């Protein structure tokens, strides 16, 4: 798997977030995705599928369970792709 840089990962997360919840791409990195982006469990799965499509990778459930923020999700995806969090 190709290592992805943090900026690429964050951009993909924000684009995916804006695709499923327009106007939320500008949330702070520490914003709680479920509360501040108003994502329920289906919304989180939609977000993950969007991110997977944009980055061409599979994100395990464990990564989601540990990541409640944009920054946490970015770090988890970075670790998956072989980068440093």
Supply the CATH number for residue 70's domain. Answer: 1.10.1200.10
Residue 41 maps to a domain: yes
- The full 3-state SS of the chain, as one line of letters, equals CCCCCHHHHHHHHHHHHHHHCCCCCCCCCCCEHHHHCCCCHHHHHHHHHHHHHHHCCCCCHHHHHHCCEHHHHHHHHHHHCCCCC
In the chain, the number of structural domains is 1
Give the domain range for residue 76: 6-80
Residue 83 reports pLDDT greater than 70? no
Residue 85 lies in a domain: no
11 inside domain: yes
Does 49 fall in a domain?
yes
pTM score of the predicted model: 0.87
Residue 1 lies in a domain: no
Residue 15 domain flag: yes
pLDDT tens for each residue of 10-63: 999 999 999 999 998 889 999 998 899 888 888 888 999 999 999 999 998 788
């Amino acid at each position: 798997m190709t290592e992805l840089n943090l900026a690429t990962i964050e951009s993909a997360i924000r684009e995916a977030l804006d695709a499923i919840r327009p106007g939320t791409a500008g949330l702070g990195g520490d914003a709680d995705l479920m509360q501040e982006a108003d994502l329920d469990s289906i919304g989180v799965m939609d977000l993950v599928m969007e991110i997977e499509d944009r980055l061409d990778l599979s994100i395990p459930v464990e990564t989601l369970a540990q990541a409640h923020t944009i920054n946490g999700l970015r770090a988890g995806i970075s670790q998956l792709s072989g980068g440093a969090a």
